[in-house]
Amino acid sequence: MHDRKARRLVEATLVDGITRAEAEKAEAEWKPYLEEQLKRMAAEGVPKERWPQHGHWDWRQKQEVADAYLAYRMFGIECQSQMQGLMLVLTAGKDCRIESQKGKPMAYVHFLAAAPWNLATVAPDPRFSLVGSILVATAIHLSIEEEFQGRIGLHSLPQADAWYRNSCGMTDLGRDHAVQDLRYFEMTAEQASEFLK
């Protein structure tokens, strides 16, 4: 991962298969930090555009799903004994929509989030970057392992739209009315290969 303050890469661990204890610890650390920062932002009168667009997901519940279903895999990035990002991926039941790969299976990123102290919209001094890149790369590697050739898909939260489109080179298939009008992004095998270069 990249330590923003020290301006260098630091050692991190990709955890494949988050345990209940790890999910509980992450929630126990993420939630109070987020609450504290939201209070601060309200007190400081931070303008609307700079607020985060969502609160906090229940990662414990997601971990239980990953534990119980073969189709779900859960990953985390651990650095300095704290979970810096979490991701839940679905590996069955979601097919590609881009015409050139329509109907082919993909690894669908069901949820992806960085710890709140890493978010520019929440933390006064975000600690680490590369959470998004590492987790997207992980999803691609999982897709390859599953023989989906790197194809992935996800519904982006609005603040991340531009990043998936421009920085990851994913195809923006527009608003999905079936999923809260969130924009749906998909990656072809070629785009995935390009991303990993």
| Binding residues for other proteins restricted to 41-80, rule: CB under 8 A | 41-42, 48, 51-58, 60-62, 64-65, 67-72
Strands 107-114 and 152-156: parallel
Is 165 near other proteins (CB under 8 A)?
Answer: no
Q: How many Cβ atoms sit within 10 Å of the Cβ of residue 69?
A: 12
- C-alpha–C-alpha distance, residues 188 and 134, integer Å: 18
Number of residues that bind other proteins (CB under 8 A): 84
Q: What is the 3-state secondary structure (H, E, C) of 74-114?
A: EEEEEECCEEEEEEEEECCCCECCCHHHCCCECEEEEEEEE
C-beta of 48: minimal distance to other proteins in Å?
6
Q: Which of 26, 79, 83, 135 binds other proteins (CB under 8 A)?
A: 135
Binding to other proteins (CB under 8 A) within 137-156 occurs at: 137-138, 141-142, 145-149, 154-156
Site residues (CB under 8 A) for other proteins, limited to 95-134: 103-105, 109-114, 119-122, 129-134
Which one, 98 or 119, has the nearer CB to other proteins?
A: 119
> Which 21-40 residues touch other proteins, going by CB under 8 A?
27, 31, 34-35, 38-39
Q: Which of 14, 82, 165, 171 binds other proteins (CB under 8 A)?
A: 14
Least separation in angstroms between residue 156's CB and other proteins is: 5
Answer yes or no: are the C-beta atoms of 107 and 89 closer than 8 Å: yes
Contact between 159 and 53 under an 8 Å Cβ cutoff? The reply is yes
Report how far Cα 96 is from the mean position of its chain's Cα atoms.
Answer: 19
CB of 123 to other proteins, least distance (A): 10
Sheet containing 128-129: order of strands = 8-9, 2-3, 128-129
